[in-house]
Amino acid sequence: MEELERQNTTPDGGELPGYDPLLLERVWARVLQGRGDGESVGRLLPPEDRGQAQEKEPACFGRDGKRCEDLLRQMLEGEWEEARIYSALARRAGGDMARALSELARQERSHAGRLGAAWFILTGRRYRWGGHGQTRPPVSLANGLREQFLQERREAQAYAEAARETGDPCLRALFEELAKQEQEQLRTLYGLLERL
C-alpha cells in the first residue's frame, strides 16, 4: 500500500488520470488537519513531485478546461437534441429498429450526462437544456437515419479535434472516448440503413 502512495500508477500498472501533486497535497492536508501527530503531507507525494506541488496548477478541469466552456455548451446542446431525434425516430420504427434507435437515444443522454458533469465542474452550474421541441424530426425514417448518420460523423470529427486541441487531460480523455462512441454509433446507423 505504501508503495502505491509513492507512485503515479494504479494497482494494475496504469497511470493515474489527471494525477496532480498539488491537489493531492491539499486533500491530504484536510484529511490530516487536527490529527496533531506531526504527519508530513509532503511524505505522501512521490519523491519526484515533492517541492513541485506549489508550482503546479491542477491539471484536470483547470485553466485549459475553462477555455472549453463554449465548446461544451455546443456539445451538450447537440447530444440532447440527438437524443430527442432518436426517440422520435424510434416511435416511427418498429421491432428491432425501434429498440436500436431507443438505445442510441439512451447513449446520447449518457453522453450529455458526462458532458454535463464536466460543465458543472468547470462552471459550478448545472446545465439545463431548453431546446425541447425546437427542431422537427425528419419526415421519413430513411431520411432521419441518413441525417443522423451525417450528424454523428460530424460529431465524431468534432470530438476528435477537441481532444487534439485541449490541454486539459480529463477533457481530452472524455473527448477521445466520446469520439470512439460516436464512431460506434455510425456503425449502428449504417447497419440500420442497410436494413431499409
Give a three-class secondary structure readout of 75-105. Answer: HHHHHHHHHHHHHHHHHHCCHHHHHHHHHHH
What is the model's pLDDT at position 39? Answer: 44
What pLDDT, on the 0 to 100 scale, is given for residue 114? 97
pLDDT tens, the chain, 196 aa long: 444 444 444 444 445 555 566 665 666 556 555 444 444 444 445 555 555 544 454 468 888 788 889 999 999 999 999 999 999 999 999 999 999 999 999 999 999 999 999 999 999 999 887 765 556 667 799 999 999 999 999 999 999 999 999 999 999 999 999 999 999 999 999 999 999 9
Q: Is 187:156 a contact under the CB 8 Å cutoff? A: no
Task: Name, in order, each residue with C-beta under 8 angstroms of 191's C-beta and a sequence gap of 6 or more.
Answer: 100
- pLDDT attached to residue 29: 59
Contact 122, 69 (CB under 8 A): yes
pLDDT of residue 157: 98
Ramachandran angles phi, psi of 15, nearest 5°:
-80, 145
Rounded to whole angstroms, the Cα distance separating 161 from 172 reads 10
For residues 56 and 67, give the distance between their C-alpha atoms in angstroms, rounded to a whole number.
18
Q: What local confidence, expressed as pLDDT, does residue 64 receive?
A: 79
Which element (helix H / strand E) includes 121?
helix 95-123
The domains found in the chain, sorted by start residue, are 2-49 (no CATH), 63-194 (1.20.1260.10)
Return the residue matching grid coordinates 506531526.
38
Name the grid cell of 35.
490529527
pTM higher than the cut 0.85: no
**pLDDT recorded at residue 155:** 96
Alpha-carbon gap, residue 23 to 54, rounded angstroms: 10
Q: What is the pLDDT of residue 97?
A: 97
